[in-house]
Structures are given as structure tokens and as C-alpha cells.
């Protein structure tokens, strides 16, 4: 009983239920966690309890974070360990209104998530002397659709499709993809606080392996994985639909394939960690360089 | 199919009926198409005006409430700006808003971070109805950073009051969720700087009920979408807030649905006709005030045109049945009307088989068929009469033919017909042939010996047939008579001419060549009355020169000239009528004198200048030239070879 209690991991993805977390839902519902001897409970964040707050308050033991976010947190004094890196590519894009090229819109009002996913975009705005006026918003794309913004940041698997669903025309011209302009920094990974990791290495390892298995299964059975995702979506009463989730799953799975090796590597790339760290230090978003070793479980 | 076609081809009644029915069908189709088109347009217009009225009415109802919110919000702003520094007043204003307007969902008067220094980063006077009345609290916190919310950002960014896209509002104390839309207005201080935002929300429930209740037709329904196309009212509740009008076009492009979505999200008003969820529908849409939302009424065509389609189907069935009945009766009537023709045809067959006395039916009708029957009877009688006459004529013709045959025999009997005519004579050889173009001909030739001389003639009477033959017989008799006591050819010819011209009432004439050959000396005296000049075939082929005299029988006073020529031994005098030179082939080419000469020369070169050889060669040449063409004129040839001491 004690052992079972000890071995329970509460896992909080950084957003509400969606196909971005398909691998974890698959691992839970297909029993991969159980097979690995890990008792996992997936609890989504709420507006009053964001993922990082839950981790800090020890309300959960693992969460997903983007690499840049994790670096900021580590820089802020909370050591984290990346136990599983899922994303191998950057998904962030800038979508510009009225078919304009984002690179020509100096000083434009650009929407950015208030919870802080847009570190690379801020770096790019400074480096390319675009001097965007950042407008922080809580979530969704309404401000952009209502015409209150000149451009908005979007994730290629989420807000991008929400914008398409809102009737926004996407062209090669009005979409700027960070991954194609020297900012290909990997994103989602599963993190634990270093303290917790040090005392639960084996558990963390089994959790990570079962999660990876979930993702591999989802890649092989995308339609079944989508069904599982929709169960979680419905359970959480998320205002989305199967079309968006299918597109999201396809894109998230695509982003997990390393451009160079062509494989799902499930590892942090030291060069990407270094690139992100350099960019963020250079633009005063980190007080110091954060190294691969600091984040790695090895 | 072929059997049907052949049946139609055989039956006049079916064919005529079909034509009539097809023609009637074309007229019906044209008239009904026009009628249906006009009626359909009228129904469509009616539907458009009905839907437009309903849309206008609903839109007005919605706008009246929205206006109330907008006015109340402006009032509140005015109140706030009277004492912008008194934070606690904001609770009173926010509460007052709901007290005065019980149908509003909530109201926040939120301020910029640290606007009230003593209140910290967040200050939002938030009021909401709850079970016990109105709850008023300070709503901002680390977990609800209102200044990142759409409702706070939009009026600031757009620099004007506006309605937000509907959103799910979570009431934290009661943990209840409500779909609301908010009217937000930035509060600006005297310097024009934004110090906060007034947010007044309306529950979408009442709006949904108002819009869902719009149902102009039994199967019609209403939808409402936001700026981004998200459904907020839809009969399929699973789509509400989860899908947008563009969602289904993402996987399966649908240009018309996309066009509708864009038109609605652009805030346009109008009507579209398209296939929606597998059903042809009319969609009427109109924006809802300044909310950015747009409502649409979807009316399936089967509803709008249901009554019209039923009417059209019934009319079409009646017309179709009518046309079929028409076809049936037409065939029956025309068959009955045409039945006498059938009988007439049978009778005609009987008559055609030779039974001319067959009795024709009496139809006792005065119409075209009666007239036809009457004419048929007349024709039958005429036929009988005509055939009787034909029999008589045929009998007469047979008798004439018999007479002609006899006449031919008599005519031929007048001419020498046994060759050689005088086998005992070695000093001369004579050969002749006559082929009349008709039963009897107008050509003649004759010869006889008197006083050691050969008297001969050849002639051609103008015209052909019996008159020519009679004229020829006369000419030949007169020649014999005159030449019996006259020895000079010109005298013979002049006398002969006088005699014939006197009895020539029918104005006929004859070209004639008369010659007298002294068989002792070989001297030939001759006279030519317009006849073809004879050829002389001896050492070579030459033409006997002849004076120009007119034919016999034209002028009784004419004096014919005498000519003389020496005929060398073995020379053959070749006499002929124009039947030889004018023999025609199928291409209407003439044999001509050149060919006559060529044939004679060819014969001569073969040493075949004896009269019968020359005439045979000439006959063969003419036959070959003429081929299968009919003989156009009498053809007469005569050869006389002088053979002294043979």
C-alpha cells in the first residue's frame, strides 16, 4: 500500500485536454503505465491552477513544458529535469492579418500568450529589428480574428488550425515559421523537479518509458489514438472538435520526427539547448546560460 | 425496338397520332415550364421576403436589448469618470448596473494594474446575480489576470467600445459556466489615457432561445456564429462552441459553405442557395447589431417549394395521363377513319391483278376519302375503257406491221438482190447492199444493161419510212422508164426530174446519181443530182468530180449537166448514200468521208478492190464504228468494177 502510494505520479500537461498530449492518454488508457508499474493520474491544469503552480506546490510530480519555458524556470531558481523530450522541432508561427508578410510589419501589434510561450518570438523581434508591440492574451485567437491585432503567435498544431477554422486564409506569405528561420528549438518535454527526480529515478524512468511507448503507439495507430484523445476532451468538456484534434495529432506527431535523422528520437538535442540558451541570454531573457547537463537526467 | 419502329413505320394512324401527341407535349412542356418557372420565382420571392422580415424582426429584438446594454455602459462610464479616484464607488456602480437591468448577466468595472495604488495590482468591481440577489466582489487575482482577457484588451486595442466574441464565463465562487457575450468600453481619463474597462455581459441563453425559436418552415432552423465562424446557436448542440462554420471545410473543401462563412463573418446581409448537409437549402443571413455575430435561417428547398413541387407533380401526372389517353384515342379514331383506305387498297390490289371488273365498296361519304373512292371508281372505268382501246390499237398495229413487212419485201424486190447479178458477164462486176433504218427505206439503187452499156443509179429520198419508200419506188420506176429510151444521163435526169416534180405534191426530193458506162470503151457518162460523189478505187482512191446540181423533184425546169470520165480497167466505182458518211456512234460522232476513204485505201492496199470486198470491208468498218448505237439512216452502197478483157 505504501509502495503504491509512493509510486503514484500525478502528471499535469501544460494545457487543457487535447491531442498535444495524445501519447500520455494512450499510455494511460492502454495500460502502459500500469504495465510499467507506475500509477499515473493525469490531472489537467485549471485557470486557477496552471501546471507550473501545481508542480511548485507539489500538487503534481510531472508536467510538460516547452524547452524555453523550462530554462526560464531553472534560471528563476527551480531546478528541473527533462525526463522525456517529445518535440524535435519548433511549432511556433506568426500569422499576419490581411495577407501581409510578418517580416515587413515593423512595430506591429502581435499577440503573445500571457503564460509565456513566446520567448523565441521576442528574441526574433529584437534580432530582426522588428520591434513588435507584444499584446499578452490569456488564450485563443479572438483578438486577432476581431481585427484588434496585426499579427499573432500561434502553434502550428493548435492556434494555427483554430485560425483556419475561423476562416483566416493561410498563405506562404502571411505565415512565418520560426523553424525555417534559424529558430528551430525543440519544445514539449516532460519535466520533474530535480529534487523529486533524484529521489524517484527509477519511477521517473519507467514513467518516461511508458509515456514514450504511448507516443510510439499513437504514431502507429493515429485514428485509435484520436478516439482516446476525444474521450479525454469530452470528459474535460473542452470546446473543440475531432477535425481540429485530428489535424493537431498529425502535426504534433510530425514535429516529433527529427529533421536530420528522420526519426522519433525522444531526446533533447544539446545543440538546440545551446541555441535557445544563447538566444535568451543575448536578449536578456535569461540571467545566465542554462546547459544541457543542467536539464538532462543523465 | 426495331419491331416497334417498324410497326410505327407501317401504321399511319400510329405515326400521325404520335406526331400530334409529340407536338401537343412540346406545347404543354413549353407552357408549363414557363408557368412553373414563374410560380417558382413567386414562391422564392415570397420565401425571401418572409425570411427577410423574420430576420429583421429578430435582429431588431436583439438590437433593442444590445442597445440597452450599450446605453447602460455609457451611463456607467459617465458615473465612473465623475469620481475615478474612489475605488469603492466602483462596486456601487457595478452593482447598480445589475439592479437596474436584471436581465444583464454580470458587470465588471476593471482597472489597469496598480491604478489604485492601495488596492495592489488587481482591481475589478465585479457584480453578478446569484441565488441571494446580487453578489459584488473584487474579481482580479493572480489566477484571474483580467487585463489579459479579450474583454479587457479589445476596447483598448480597437480604441472603441465593442462586443466580444461569445465565451464561456467561469464563475469561480459557484464554479458555474455560462456562455456570454460582453460589451466592453474603455474608460479614459481627461488625458485620453485608458484607466480601465467596463464590461457588461449578457447570457447567450436568451439570445439562443430567441434565435432558435425562429422557424418559418417546418424543417428550417436557425444558426448563429461569431466573428470567427464559431457556432453559438445550432440545432446540433454538439457543434455549439466546438465547431465553426469552416470546420467541415477543413477536411473536405466546400467553396459555397466557405463563401457563406466569409460573408457572415464579414457582417454582410444576404441570401445564398447551396447544398447544406446533403440538402439543397436557402440560407438567409444578417449580422446581429455590433456584436460581430451573424444569424442565419436555413430553409430547406423541400420546405419552401414543397407545396409547389406537389402541385407540379400532380399537374405533370395529369398532363402525362392526358397525353397517353390522347394518343390512345387518336390511334383509335384515325384507324377507324382510315379503314376505308385499307379496303380501297385491297380492291386496288385486286384490280392490279387484272380483275378490272372488281366491285368497289360504296362508302357513301363526301369527305376526301369519299372523293378518293369516287375517283378510284372513275379510274377503274377509264382503265377498262382504255384497255379496250389499247386492244384495238394493238390489233391495228399488228396489221400495219404486217403490211409494212410486205411493203419491205416488195421494195426489196424492186432492187437487184442477187449478186453477182450477171454472172455471165466478165467485163463488169456489180455488188450492192441496202440496209434501211426502218421497216422500209428511202434509198435506192438500180442497174441494167442496154446497148452494150451499163445503166445505173443510186439515190437517197429525203425523209424515211413509208413516204420515202413510196417516193423511192416512184423514182426507181421513172428511172427505168426514162432510161429505156434516153441514153444520156443528163437527159435521163432532166426527164426524170420533170416527171417527178410534177407529181411531187408532198414536196419530197431525191438526191440521185445516174451513170452510163460504155463497157467497150470504159467511158462513163454521168449526171449527179446532189448526191454524194462516188469514189474510184483503182491505182489509188479518188473522188469522181461532180457538178453542183439540185436534187430531183425540187425544180422541174432544172437542166442537169452531163459529165464524162474514163474508167480504167479494174477500177471500182464505189457509190454510196449519206447513210455511210453520217453513220453515228454512241457519242454522236459521224463516220465521215475520211473514214470511207481510209477504209477503201486499206482495202486497196490488200488488193481487195472487188465490189463485194470493198462493200464488206466498208460494212465491217461502219459496224465497228457505230457499235451498239441505233442505225440512224438508210445505208446503201454499190460497187461497179470495170474489167474489160477479164
CA–centroid distance for A257 within its chain: 15
Among residues B528, B526, B534, the alpha carbon closest in space to that of B550 is found at B528
Most confident of the ranges A224-238, B166-180, B213-227, B408-422? A224-238
Question: What integer best gives the mean pLDDT of chain B?
Answer: 88
Cα–Cα distance list, B527 to B429, B522, B532, B556 (Å): 21, 16, 12, 16
Q: With contacts defined as CB-CB under 8 Å, which chain B residues touch A244?
A: 247, 250
Q: Cell numbers of A239, please?
A: 470546446
Among residues B467, B529, B468, the alpha carbon closest in space to that of B496 is found at B529
Domain identity same for A136 and A259 = no
Whether B154 sits inside 8 A of A147 (CB atoms) is: no
Judge whether A57 is closer than 8 Å to chain B, CB to CB.
Answer: no
- How confident is the model over B541-563, as pLDDT tens digits? 999 999 988 999 888 899 999 99
Within 13 Å of residue B158, how many CA atoms lie on the same side as its CB?
Answer: 22
* Residues A87/A90/A91/A96 CA torsion (nearest 10 deg): 170
Q: How far apart are CA B571 and CA B538, in angstroms?
A: 4
Chain B: closest CA distance from residue A298 (Å): 35
Residue A60 has what pLDDT? Answer: 92
Whether B227 sits inside 8 A of A145 (CB atoms) is: yes
- How confident is the model over A51-99, as pLDDT tens digits? 888 888 889 999 999 999 999 999 999 999 999 999 999 999 999 988 7
Final residue of a structural domain among A180, A196, A211: A180
Final residue of a structural domain among A159, A180, A201: A180
Whether B246 sits inside 8 A of A241 (CB atoms) is: no
User: Which residues of B make CB contacts under 8 Å with A?
Assistant: 143-145, 148-150, 153-154, 157-158, 162, 164-165, 167-168, 170, 172, 227-230, 239, 241-248, 250-251, 258, 261-262, 265, 292
CATH of the domain at A164: 3.40.190.10
To the nearest 10 degrees (0 to 180), the angle between helices B592-605 and B611-626 is 130
pLDDT at B153 over 80: yes
ipTM tops the 0.90 cut: no
Whether B228 sits inside 8 A of A246 (CB atoms) is: no
Chain B: closest CA distance from residue A194 (Å): 26
| Domains in chain B: ranges and CATH | 83-206 (3.30.450.20), 215-304 (3.30.450.20), 350-401 (1.10.8), 415-642 (3.60.40.10)
Final residue of a structural domain among A128, A162, A180: A180
Domain identity same for A274 and A195 = yes
Domain identity same for A198 and A65 = yes
Global pTM value = 0.66
pLDDT band at residue A3 under the 50/70/90 scheme? very low
Nearest by CB to B158, from A114, A148, A164: name it. A148
pLDDT band at residue B213 under the 50/70/90 scheme? confident
pLDDT at B419 over 80: no
Residue B646 has what pLDDT? Answer: 63
pLDDT band at residue B358 under the 50/70/90 scheme? confident
Supply the range of the domain harboring residue A218: 2-89+186-295
Q: How far apart are CA A5 and CA A1, in angstroms?
A: 6
Q: How far apart are CA A223 and CA A230, in angstroms?
A: 11
Interface test with B, best of A59, A109, A132, A138 (most B CBs within 10 A): A138
Q: With contacts defined as CB-CB under 8 Å, which chain A residues touch B292?
A: 146
Q: Looking at residues B267-296, what average pLDDT do you find?
A: 89
Peptide bond into B420 cis (omega under 30): yes
pLDDT band at residue B439 under the 50/70/90 scheme? low
Q: How far apart are CA B168 and CA B179, in angstroms?
A: 4
Strands (E), B539-604: 541-543, 563-566, 572-576
pLDDT at A47 over 80: no
Q: How far apart are CA B160 and CA B518, in angstroms?
A: 151
Residue B99 has what pLDDT? Answer: 93
- How confident is the model over B326-354, as pLDDT tens digits? 999 999 998 888 888 888 888 888 888 87
Give the whole-number percent of chain A exceeding pLDDT 90.
Answer: 73
Nearest by CB to A167, from B145, B167, B261: name it. B261
- How confident is the model over A16-46, as pLDDT tens digits? 999 999 999 999 999 999 999 999 999 998 7
pLDDT band at residue B440 under the 50/70/90 scheme? low
Q: Looking at residues B593-612, what average pLDDT do you find?
A: 90
pLDDT at B324 over 50: yes
Whether B150 sits inside 8 A of A166 (CB atoms) is: no
pLDDT band at residue B95 under the 50/70/90 scheme? very high
Chain B: closest CA distance from residue A220 (Å): 21
pLDDT band at residue A5 under the 50/70/90 scheme? very low
Domain identity same for A105 and A21 = no
Nearest by CB to A48, from B172, B239, B245: name it. B172
Grid look-up 432510161 returns B483
Domain identity same for A207 and A72 = yes
Domain identity same for A109 and A85 = no
Nearest by CB to B150, from A143, A147, A247: name it. A143
pLDDT at B173 over 80: no
Sequence-distant (6+) residues with CB within 8 A of B369 are B337, B338, B340, B341, B363
Give the whole-number percent of chain B exceeding pLDDT 70.
Answer: 99
Q: Is the dihedral of CA A214, A217, A218, A223 positive or negative?
A: negative
Question: What integer best gives the mean pLDDT of chain A?
Answer: 91
Nearest by CB to A166, from B158, B244, B251: name it. B244
Residue B380 has what pLDDT? Answer: 83
Domain identity same for A284 and A194 = yes
Among residues B475, B466, B473, B406, the alpha carbon closest in space to that of B440 is found at B466
Sequence-distant (6+) residues with CB within 8 A of B542 are B535, B536
Residue B418 has what pLDDT? Answer: 72
Higher pLDDT, A201 or A103: A201
Domain identity same for A76 and A100 = no
SS3 call for B165: coil
Domain identity same for A148 and A200 = no
The C-alpha R_g of chain B, in whole angstroms, comes to 64
Whether A47 sits inside 8 A of B168 (CB atoms) is: no
Domain count for chain A, please give it. Answer: 2
Q: With contacts defined as CB-CB under 8 Å, which chain B residues touch A136?
A: 148
Judge whether A233 is closer than 8 Å to chain B, CB to CB.
Answer: no
The per-residue DSSP string of B108-160 comes to EEEE-TTSSGGG-S--EEEEEEETTEEEEEE--BTTB-GGGSHHHHHHHHHTS
H or E element in which residue B182 lies:
strand B176-188
The C-alpha angle B276, B281, B286, rounded to 5 degrees, equals: 95
pLDDT at B172 over 80: no
Domain identity same for A194 and A287 = yes
pLDDT at A2 over 60: no
Phi, psi of B169 (to 5 degrees): -95, 120
> How many CB pairs below 8 A link A and B?
95
* Residues A251/A257/A260/A261 CA torsion (nearest 10 deg): -160
Whether A146 sits inside 8 A of B145 (CB atoms) is: no
Domain identity same for A19 and A96 = no
The span from the first CA to the last CA of chain B, in angstroms, equals: 92
Q: Looking at residues B72-91, what average pLDDT do you find?
A: 92
Count of helices and strands (H, E) across chain A: 14, 10
Domain identity same for A211 and A77 = yes
Amino acid at each position: 500500500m505504501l509502495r503504491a502510494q509512493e509510486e503514484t505520479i500525478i502528471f499535469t500537461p501544460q494545457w487543457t485536454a487535447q491531442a498535444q498530449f495524445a501519447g500520455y492518454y494512450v499510455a494511460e488508457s492502454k495500460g502502459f503505465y500500469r504495465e510499467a508499474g507506475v500509477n499515473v493520474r493525469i490531472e489537467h491544469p485549471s485557470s486557477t491552477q496552471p501546471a507550473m503552480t501545481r508542480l511548485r506546490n507539489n500538487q503534481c510530480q510531472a508536467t510538460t513544458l516547452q524547452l524555453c519555458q523550462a530554462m526560464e524556470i531553472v534560471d528563476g531558481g527551480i531546478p528541473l529535469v527533462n525526463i522525456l523530450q517529445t518535440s524535435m522541432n519548433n511549432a511556433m508561427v506568426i500569422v499576419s492579418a490581411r495577407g501581409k508578410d510578418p517580416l515587413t510589419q515593423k512595430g506591429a501589434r502581435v499577440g503573445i500568450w500571457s503564460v509565456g510561450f513566446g520567448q523565441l518570438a521576442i528574441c526574433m523581434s529584437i534580432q530582426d529589428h522588428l520591434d513588435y508591440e507584444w499584446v499578452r492574451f490569456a488564450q485563443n485567437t479572438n483578438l486577432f480574428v476581431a481585427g484588434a491585432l496585426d499579427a499573432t503567435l500561434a502553434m502550428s498544431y493548435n492556434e494555427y488550425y483554430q485560425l483556419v477554422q475561423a476562416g483566416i486564409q493561410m498563405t506562404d506569405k502571411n505565415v512565418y515559421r520560426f523553424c525555417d528561420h534559424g529558430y528551430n528549438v525543440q519544445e514539449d518535454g516532460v519535466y520533474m523537479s530535480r529534487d523529486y527526480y533524484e529521489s524517484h529515478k527509477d519511477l521517473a524512468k519507467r514513467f518516461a518509458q511508458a509515456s514514450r511507448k504511448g507516443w510510439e503507439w499513437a504514431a502507429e495507430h493515429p485514428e485509435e489514438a484520436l478516439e482516446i484523445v476525444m474521450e479525454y476532451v469530452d470528459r474535460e468538456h473542452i470546446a473543440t472538435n475531432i477535425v481540429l484534434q485530428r489535424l493537431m495529432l498529425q502535426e504534433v506527431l510530425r514535429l516529433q520526427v527529427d529533421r536530420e535523422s528522420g526519426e522519433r528520437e525522444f531526446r533533447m538535442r544539446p545543440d538546440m539547448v545551446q541555441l535557445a540558451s544563447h538566444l535568451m541570454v543575448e536578449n536578456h531573457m535569461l540571467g545566465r546560460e542554462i546547459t544541457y547537463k543542467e536539464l538532462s537526467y543523465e | 425496338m426495331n419491331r416497334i419502329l417498324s410497326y410505327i413505320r407501317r401504321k399511319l394512324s400510329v405515326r400521325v397520332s404520335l406526331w400530334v401527341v409529340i407536338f401537343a407535349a412540346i406545347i404543354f412542356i413549353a407552357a408549363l415550364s414557363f408557368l412553373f418557372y414563374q410560380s417558382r420565382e413567386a414562391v422564392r420571392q415570397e420565401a425571401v421576403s418572409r425570411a427577410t422580415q423574420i430576420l429583421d424582426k429578430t435582429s431588431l429584438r436583439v438590437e433593442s436589448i444590445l442597445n440597452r446594454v450599450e446605453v447602460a455602459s455609457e451611463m456607467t462610464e459617465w458615473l465612473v469618470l465623475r469620481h475615478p479616484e474612489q475605488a469603492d464607488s466602483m462596486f456601487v456602480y457595478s452593482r447598480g448596473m445589475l439592479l437596474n437591468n436584471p436581465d444583464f448577466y454580470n458587470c465588471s468595472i476593471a482597472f489597469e494594474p496598480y491604478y489604485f495604488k492601495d488596492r495592489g495590482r488587481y482591481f475589478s468591481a465585479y457584480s453578478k446575480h446569484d441565488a441571494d440577489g446580487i453578489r459584488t466582489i473584487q474579481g482580479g487575482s493572480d489566477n484571474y489576470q483580467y487585463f489579459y482577457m479579450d474583454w479587457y484588451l479589445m476596447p483598448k486595442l480597437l480604441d472603441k467600445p465593442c462586443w466580444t466574441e461569445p465565451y464561456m464565463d467561469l464563475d469561480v465562487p459557484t464554479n458555474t459556466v455560462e456562455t456570454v457575450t460582453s460589451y466592453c468600453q474603455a474608460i479614459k481619463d481627461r488625458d485620453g489615457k485608458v484607466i480601465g474597462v467596463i464590461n457588461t455581459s449578457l447570457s447567450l441563453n436568451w439570445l439562443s432561445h430567441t434565435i432558435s425559436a425562429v422557424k418559418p418552415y417546418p424543417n428550417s432552423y436557425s444558426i448563429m456564429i461569431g466573428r470567427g465562424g464559431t457556432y453559438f446557436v445550432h440545432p446540433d448542440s454538439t457543434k455549439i462552441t466546438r465547431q465553426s462554420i469552416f470546420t467541415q471545410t477543413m477536411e473536405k473543401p466546400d467553396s459555397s459553405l466557405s463563401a457563406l462563412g466569409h460573408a457572415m463573418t464579414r457582417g454582410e446581409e444576404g441570401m445564398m442557395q447551396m447544398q447544406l448537409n446533403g440538402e439543397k437549402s436557402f440560407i438567409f443571413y444578417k449580422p446581429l447589431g455590433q456584436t460581430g455575430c451573424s444569424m442565419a435561417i436555413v430553409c430547406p428547398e423541400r420546405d419552401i417549394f414543397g407545396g409547389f413541387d406537389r402541385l407540379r407533380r400532380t399537374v405533370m401526372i395529369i398532363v402525362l395521363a392526358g397525353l397517353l389517353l390522347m394518343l390512345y384515342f387518336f390511334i383509335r379514331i384515325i384507324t377507324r377513319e382510315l379503314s376505308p383506305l385499307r379496303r380501297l387498297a385491297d380492291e386496288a390490289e385486286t384490280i392490279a391483278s387484272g380483275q378490272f371488273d372488281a366491285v368497289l365498296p360504296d362508302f357513301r361519304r363526301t369527305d376526301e376519302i369519299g372523293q378518293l373512292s369516287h375517283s378510284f371508281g372513275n379510274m377503274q372505268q377509264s382503265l377498262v375503257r382504255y384497255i379496250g382501246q389499247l386492244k384495238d390499237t394493238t390489233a391495228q398495229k399488228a396489221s400495219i406491221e404486217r403490211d409494212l413487212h410486205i411493203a419491205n419485201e416488195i421494195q426489196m424486190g424492186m432492187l437487184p438482190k442477187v449478186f453477182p447479178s450477171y454472172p455471165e458477164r466478165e467485163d463488169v462486176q456489180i455488188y450492192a447492199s441496202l440496209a434501211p433504218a426502218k421497216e422500209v427505206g428511202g434509198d435506192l439503187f438500180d442497174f441494167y444493161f442496154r446497148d452494150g452499156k451499163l445503166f445505173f443509179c443510186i439515190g437517197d429520198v429525203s425523209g424515211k419510212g413509208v413516204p420515202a419508200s413510196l417516193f423511192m419506188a416512184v423514182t426507181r420506176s421513172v428511172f427505168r422508164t426514162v432510161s429505156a429510151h434516153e441514153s444520156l444521163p443528163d437527159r435521163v435526169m432532166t426527164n426524170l426530174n420533170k416527171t417527178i416534180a410534177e407529181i411531187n405534191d408532198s414536196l419530197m426530193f431525191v438526191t440521185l446519181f445516174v451513170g452510163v458506162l460504155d463497157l467497150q470503151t470504159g467511158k462513163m457518162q454521168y449526171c449527179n443530182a446532189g448526191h454524194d460523189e462516188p469514189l474510184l478505187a483503182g491505182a489509188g482512191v479518188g473522188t469522181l468530180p461532180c457538178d453542183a446540181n439540185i436534187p430531183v423533184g425540187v425544180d422541174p425546169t432544172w437542166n442537169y449537166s452531163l459529165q464524162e470520165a474514163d474508167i480504167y480497167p479494174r477500177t471500182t466505182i464505189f457509190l454510196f448514200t449519206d447513210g455511210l458518211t453520217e453513220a453515228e456512234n454512241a457519242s454522236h460522232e459521224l463516220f465521215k468521208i475520211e473514214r470511207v476513204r481510209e477504209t477503201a485505201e486499206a482495202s486497196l492496199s490488200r488488193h481487195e478492190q472487188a465490189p463485194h470486198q470493198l462493200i464488206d470491208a466498208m460494212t465491217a468498218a461502219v459496224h465497228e464504228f457505230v457499235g451498239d448505237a441505233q442505225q440512224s439512216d438508210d445505208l446503201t452502197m454499190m460497187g461497179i468494177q470495170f474489167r474489160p478483157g477479164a
